[in-house]
Amino acid sequence: MSTSITIPSACDFHVHLRQGEMMRMVTPKVVEGGVSLAYVMPNLQPPITNTDQALAYKKELEALAPEVTFYMTLYLSPELTPEEVRKAKKAGIAGVKSYPRGVTTNSDSGIENYEIYYPVFKAMEEEGLVLNLHGEVPSDHNADICVMNAEIKFLPELEKLHNAFPKLKIVLEHATTSAAVELVKRLGDTVACSVTVHHLQLIVDDWAGQVHHFCKPVAKYPHDRDALRQVVAQGHPRFFLGTDSAPHP
């Protein structure tokens, strides 16, 4: 039985390249890692919230790795308007990334209410921009929400967004649960899902108490890992690589 696949290069649809000295260090590593197309996340400090910032960031990245095609995104924030969405589309910006407040690195400016952004989502639907969702809700001990069920608690919001904007292209990022896999499959052609390599390998036992395996969203149960492995092995067209490569100090 074959245990490996070799391809000329990969498209990585979820990459963090940071800024400053760290950006200059890691960006040349993209092509060294076998990736020729990188979909770049916008959670810098301050975040990339408009088209001009995204284009300036892209120019920096291209100077460091001219062999790589960079797809740029904006950070969903109150500054983003339907007019800016249309400007972004004309400039070749690929999507908009949504972070719930406080769930991951540099998400302090994240959102708490999606409905106030419905005019933005409508413009994105019309223009063909992708909505990339970090699919977790913030921990809430009073509601019994923690890192282990934060993704499952988010899934009704994904379905609600899809029902409100059925033609909006949505990507649920770095899925970790069988429930997420089943929902994405059920919602149809405009909803997709990125999968990391480490979530195909790890379960909760591998990171609990082992700091170098800890990464949000955390790996879950064996049946969750099995669901991710199965949908990847099937070659499902709406599940694809997004490594969530994310350097830290």
The residues assigned a catalytic role are 14, 16, 97, 134, 174, 244
How far apart CA 6 and CA 8 sit, in angstroms, is 7
How far apart CA 115 and CA 112 sit, in angstroms, is 9
Neighbours of 93 (CB within 10 A): 25
- SS3 state at 121: helix
Q: What is the 3-state secondary structure (H, E, C) of 184-221?
A: HHHHCCCEEEEECCHHHCCCHHHHCCCHHHCCCCCCCC
Specify the pairing of strand 169-173 against strand 191-195. Answer: parallel
> What Rg value do the Cα atoms of the chain yield, rounded?
17
